[in-house]
Amino acid sequence: MLKAFYSDLAIIRERDPAARGLLEILLCYPGFQALTLHRISHKLWNIGLPLFPRVLSQLNRSLTGIEIHPGAQIGKGVFIDHGMGVVIGETTEIGNHCLLYQGVTLGGTGKSHGKRHPTLSENVVVGAGAKVLGAITVGANTRIGAGSVVVRDVEANSTVVGVPGRIIHQSGARINPLAHSALPDAEATIIRNLMERIDYLESQVRILNSCLQEIRQGNIPKKVFPGEAQNLKDREIIEFLGDDLHEN
C-alpha cells in the first residue's frame, strides 16, 4: 500500500503543473485523498470486515465528492484530476497510471451478480463526463474523449469519441495524456464525407438526365466521366457506423 501511495504522489507531480509541493498535494488534491482512503477501505473489504468499509467509502464521498466502492481494484500511479462527481463501481478494475477527470462514471449494467463494471488497462485516459458502462475491457494506452459513452470493448492504443463511443485507431502512437485538444472530430469527418457523397450522387443524376435528353432528341450522348471514386469515403462511413449499420 505504501508503494501505491508514493506512486499516486509521483504521478500528480509528473502530470499536473499546478502541483507545487508535497503538502499542497496532501491537503488540496481530492483525487489523491479519495484514493488513499479507498486503499484503506479496500484492504478492510478484502479481509471481510462487514459494513465499516462501506461507511468509510461514504465518508470518502462526503469529503471529496468522489464515490469509490471499496470492492474496486485500483492500480498504482492512478490520478483522479479534480474528481468531483467521479463514480467507480464495485467490480471495476483500473490499471496502473490511468487518468480520470471529473464527472467520470465507471458503472455497471443490469442487476446480475459477478463482474458487471469495466476494466481499464494501463495508461487509459478518461475525459471529463465520460461514462464507461458494463463488464467491458478498455485496452492499454486508450483515450476516451470528454462526454463519450462507452458500452463495448475497446482495443489497445485507440481513441474513443461520441455517444455511443466510436473507436478511432491511433496505431500505438504515444500521445500526451493531457492533450485533450488532439482528439479527432469523427462526427465532423463523417458528415463532410456524407455531404461530398451527396454532391457526387447529385452530379451523377444531372449527367444522366442530360444523357436522357440527348437520347430523346436523337443524339448520341457525350462521353460521361464518372468523376472521383467514392469507395474510400464510403468505407470510412461504414467503419464509423460499425455494427449499428447491420443491426438496423
Predicted TM-score of the model (pTM)? 0.72
Cβ pair 233, 197 in contact under 8 A: yes
Reply yes or no: is the peptide bond before residue 177 cis, omega within 30 of 0: no
Strand partners, 87: 67, 105
Q: Are 124 and 98 in contact (CB under 8 A)?
A: yes
pLDDT of amino acid 246? 46
Q: Read off the C-alpha cell for 242.
A: 460499425
- Burial class, 230, CB count within 10 angstroms (exposed 0-12 / middle 13-18 / buried 19+): middle
The per-residue pLDDT for 202 is 84
Question: Which runs of consecutive H residues, i.e. helices, occur in 21-136?
Answer: 22-28, 30-46, 52-64
Beta pairing partners, 125: 99, 143
Q: What is the pLDDT along the chain (248 residues), one digit of tens a residue?
A: 777 888 888 888 888 888 788 888 888 899 999 999 999 999 999 998 889 999 999 999 999 999 999 999 999 999 999 889 999 999 999 999 999 999 999 998 877 788 999 999 999 999 999 999 999 999 999 999 888 999 999 988 888 888 887 777 655 555 555 555 556 666 667 777 788 778 888 888 888 888 888 888 888 776 665 555 555 566 666 666 655 544 44
**Count of positions (residues) in the chain:** 248
What are the cell numbers at 81?
Answer: 484530476
pLDDT computed for residue 245 by the predictor: 45
Task: Give the phi and the psi of residue 167 in degrees, each rounded to 5.
Answer: -95, 125
* Structural domains of the chain in order of their starting residue, each with its CATH number: 2-182 (2.160.10.10), 186-247 (no CATH)
Whole-Å CA distances, 52 to 49, 67, 196: 7, 15, 61
